[in-house]
Amino acid sequence: MSSVDRSVKPSFTKSMFLGALQSELVMPYPLLDAEERARVDEAVTTAREFLTATYDPWRTERDGWVGDDTIRELGERKLTGLFIDEQYGGRGLSQSGYCRVMEEFGKVDGTLAVVMGVHQSIGTKPLHLYGTEEQKARWLPDLAAGRKLAAFVLTEPNVGSDAYNLETRAERQSDGSWLLNGEKRWIGNGDKDVLTVFAQSDLGHVALIVEKGMEGLSTGPRFETLGLKGNSLQRVHFRDVRVPAENLLGEPGDGFRIAMNTLNNGRMSMGTSISGGMKRFLDLALEHTSTRRQFGRELIDFEMVEEKLAWMNTRIYGLESASYLTTGLVDRGEADFSLESAMTKVEASDLGWYGLNRAFQLHGGTAFMADHPLAKALRDFRIFPIFEGSNDVMRAYVALNGLKALSEDLPDVASLKITDPGKAIGVLGPYVAGRITRRVRPEKLRGAHPTFAGRVNAVSEQTVRLRDRAEAALRKHGKKVQEKQLIQKRLANAASGIYAQVAVISRASAVFERDGLQISGAEKTVAMNFLKSAEREVNRQLRSLEINDDRFVQQIGRAVRQTNGYAFDL
């Protein structure tokens, strides 16, 4: 087994690319203790009472804003400062607890979930993570109470996924203040109160707190969007905005790290909000198919209807398992969770869209009416595979980080040149020997319930194959693997599928230990169904790294570019 660098926080997913399973990071499953569970349940009850009895998502869509009265009441119920420390007026929930409450917002309205997520997950989070005690005391009480709303101000007209190359500039002045110039776009809550703004400077990237009303700060015109109509998505302009020295988060040069770590945290609540939305889609589908009759019987009696419902239920279980395993990594504070956060976000946003499509199909023409909740969800949910890191970019991020970790474990890879057959043969020898060794002795996931012995073996074998295929890609392409996005996509999908299986094994094992296997029979069925389905998909992804039609895809893609579109005529 390959060694893992203990000088930095370990990463479960990076270790998978090395052929290792760090069981201690994922076993046992991070179930909430009794005290935290009670606090979370109280917050969930409070949120559910307000959302079901008071909040009107259709009014939000008509008015183009969730409403100041809504924000005020959420603040009074301490739902706008869920993870903020109690000394600043928040609830002080763990990451797992916070994300559990965010599920409730996702069940009721994607727009409100986004507004609350922007405010808390990414708007307030930089202050929570990197603020000094003085900065926290200055801003967190108002943010926790909902008297002010926060925004995360990163994206620019010419800068989206390539967030490192910001064009907004901050020039440090002789008195320590910063002069800020530039333009941002697609900023949720951009016209609100406390903006964490990221900019380039001569000293590196900086994160600055900009407050509403500062001279030179302006917003608008607001973007008109397909969905999330109640989310105030703004253009934000800075014209010689003077930001006091005490509004700098961290040190000069820390800005990019602060932005990326904030997004790593924020992606998790998106995952659980989508999970909440999928539970609502399933409820609507069950209600409709149980009451709608065709051909003399209820729709739910037909196999193709039943299959869609089973698919949704199983996928929610897998997504929920992976989401809260990842939040558990955050709460323990012992692991690098950046890749798990990215994978969970990708899986959630893809599954949310696929699940919505199935629920929509089961409703037939009813859901196509503009006033149906699934029609609204269709408009709202399409942005999630793009928000907070495009899914294609996130897949590349996962794969390239995994490949980088593996390359550091293979010193000879850097010197390998495919055009030098002698050198290629020289490094191929130990590669094959290592591969054979790993196949004889794959590492097992420790601590799983005996029921999952077969599934544990499957995960172990797939982890070995993941390393083999990643290593083969490195040796074949060298540094050029950075351009091989189809390879990256398959590696990331395989890693995500393995991680999801680990999460389900860990979760179900903990439940069986707590409740007994007899009581948990239904959960065993769902878990097994998910695991077998995920295993098949991972095997497909790994196999396609060896056998695929990529050369035809590339030829066709180039031809389409040359002909400027479809070129065939009957």
Mean pLDDT, rounded, for 517-523: 87
pLDDT tier at 161, thresholds 50, 70, 90 = confident
Mean pLDDT, rounded, for 176-183: 98
Cα dist from 452 to 27, 32, 457, 524, whole Å: 14, 23, 9, 10
pLDDT for 410 equals 85
**Would you state the structure tokens that stand for residue 382, as one six-digit string?**
């399409």
Mean pLDDT, rounded, for 124-130: 97
Residues 551-569 have pLDDT tens digits of: 999 999 999 999 999 999 9
pLDDT for 330 equals 96
pLDDT at 340 > cutoff 50 = yes
Count how many Cα atoms sit within 13 Å of the Cα of residue 243 in the half-sphere of its side chain. Answer: 28
Residues 286-315 have pLDDT tens digits of: 999 999 999 999 999 999 999 999 999 999
pLDDT at 242 > cutoff 70 = yes
Rounded CA gap, 47 and 104, in Å?
A: 7
In the sheet with 169-172, reading across from the earlier edge strand, the strands are 169-172, 178-188, 233-243, 217-219
Write b or e for each residue in 381-402: b if 16 or more Cβ atoms lie within 10 A of its Cβ, otherwise e: bbbbbebbbbbbbbbbbbbbbb
pLDDT for 244 equals 98
pLDDT at 538 > cutoff 60 = yes
Give me the count of residues in the chain. Answer: 570
β-pairing verdict for 150-153 and 178-188? unpaired
Bridge partners of 206, per DSSP, are 199
CB 494 within 8 A of CB 542: yes
pLDDT at 163 > cutoff 90 = no
pLDDT for 259 equals 95
CB 241 within 8 A of CB 216: yes
36-45, 414-423, 488-497, range with the lowest pLDDT: 414-423
Enumerate the active-site residues.
388
pLDDT at 152 > cutoff 90 = yes
- Residue 345's CB is within 10 A of a number of other CB atoms, namely 28
Mean pLDDT, rounded, for 136-157: 97
Mean pLDDT, rounded, for 87-103: 97
**Would you state the structure tokens that stand for residue 55, as one six-digit string?**
């909040």
Residues 361-401 have pLDDT tens digits of: 999 999 999 999 999 999 999 999 998 889 999 999 999 99
pLDDT for 203 equals 96
pLDDT at 2 > cutoff 50 = no
81-95, 123-137, 421-435, range with the lowest pLDDT: 421-435
Mean pLDDT, rounded, for 40-69: 97
pLDDT at 55 > cutoff 50 = yes
pLDDT tier at 414, thresholds 50, 70, 90 = low
pLDDT at 79 > cutoff 50 = yes
Mean pLDDT, rounded, for 112-131: 97
Q: Helix/strand/coil (H, E, C) string of 171-240?
A: EECCCCCEEEEEEEEEEECCCCCEEEEEEECCCCCEEEEEECCCCCEEECCCCCCCCCCCCCEEEEEEEE
**Radius of gyration, CA atoms only, the chain:** 25
pLDDT for 423 equals 37
Mean pLDDT, rounded, for 126-130: 97
pLDDT tier at 333, thresholds 50, 70, 90 = very high
pLDDT for 24 equals 96
pLDDT at 134 > cutoff 60 = yes
Mean pLDDT, rounded, for 270-290: 97
77-86, 279-288, 435-444, range with the lowest pLDDT: 435-444
558 burial (CB, 10 Å; 0-12 / 13-18 / 19+) is exposed
Domains belonging to the chain, first-starting first, are 34-149 (1.10.540.10), 152-252 (2.40.110.10), 257-391 (1.20.140.10), 392-559 (1.20.140.10)
pLDDT for 5 equals 41
pLDDT at 348 > cutoff 70 = yes
pLDDT for 441 equals 60
Residues 425-458 have pLDDT tens digits of: 334 334 444 544 445 466 899 999 999 999 999 9
pLDDT for 437 equals 46
pLDDT for 518 equals 82
Mean pLDDT, rounded, for 461-486: 95
